[in-house]
């Protein structure tokens, strides 16, 4: 009997799932698997060559847009332009560069009074930002 994977996003693509070891956060041999489209995060281990699901959580897409850049950037600082690009739906180099331009313009127009407020402007939808 062949296993069939069903997804509400059309054709299943295993490359849509990110597997992160998160050194210094998770023990050795434990992996965090993230599927942004489904809003699904799982903690996996491997016991005697068999994968084991240890924990799982579903998140709304808006929370995934925040979670993924923070987790992928760990343990380094996550730039605000990366967060903004993620909220916009894509984190290609071009998207991140465009997000940086948007942040700089918002700051120039007075939409941001400090460098640290950019992420809050994105989340709150400040009219100066758009």
pLDDT per residue as tens digits for the range 94-104: 999 999 999 88
**What is the value of pTM for the model shown?**
0.65
Closest of 59, 53, 20, 55 to residue 37, by C-alpha: 59
Question: Would you say residue 37 lies in a domain?
Answer: yes
- Which tokens sit at 39? 């809003």
Question: Would you say residue 109 lies in a domain?
Answer: yes
Average pLDDT, the chain: 78
Name the band, by pLDDT with cuts 50, 70 and 90, for residue 114.
low
Strand positions, DSSP E, the chain = 17-20, 31-35, 40-47, 50-58
Provide the total of helices (H) and of strands (E) in the chain, helices listed first.
4, 4
Give yes or no for a cis peptide into 74 (omega within 30° of 0): no
Question: Would you say residue 83 lies in a domain?
Answer: yes
Is residue 92 pLDDT above 50, yes or no? yes
CA distance 130 to 117: 15
Residues 1 and 51 in one domain: yes
> Which domain covers residue 104, as residue numbers?
79-130
Residues 91 and 52 in one domain: no
Distance from the first to the final alpha carbon of the chain: 53
pLDDT at 51: 87
pLDDT tens-digit readout, 33-82: 999 889 999 999 988 888 899 999 999 988 998 888 888 888 888 898 99
Residues 88 and 44 in one domain: no
- Integer CA distances (angstroms), 96 to 9, 45, 71, 73, 100, in order: 25, 33, 17, 14, 6
Percent of the chain with pLDDT over 90: 25
Question: Would you say residue 71 lies in a domain?
Answer: no
Residues 3 and 54 in one domain: yes
pLDDT at 62: 86
Is residue 124 pLDDT above 60, yes or no? no
Domains: count for the chain: 2
Residues 51 and 97 in one domain: no
């Amino acid at each position: 009997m062949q296993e069939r994977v069903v997804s509400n996003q059309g054709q299943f693509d295993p490359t849509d799932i990110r597997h992160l070891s998160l050194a210094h956060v998770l023990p050795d041999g434990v992996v965090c698997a993230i599927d942004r489209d489904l809003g699904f995060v799982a903690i996996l281990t491997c016991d005697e060559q068999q994968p084991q699901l240890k924990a799982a959580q579903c998140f709304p897409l808006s929370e995934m847009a925040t979670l993924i850049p923070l987790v992928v950037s760990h343990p380094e600082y996550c730039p605000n332009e990366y967060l903004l690009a993620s909220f916009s739906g894509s984190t290609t180099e071009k998207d991140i560069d465009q997000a940086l331009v948007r942040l700089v313009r918002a700051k120039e127009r007075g939409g941001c009074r400090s460098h640290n407020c950019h992420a809050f402007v994105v989340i709150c939808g400040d009219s100066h930002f758009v």
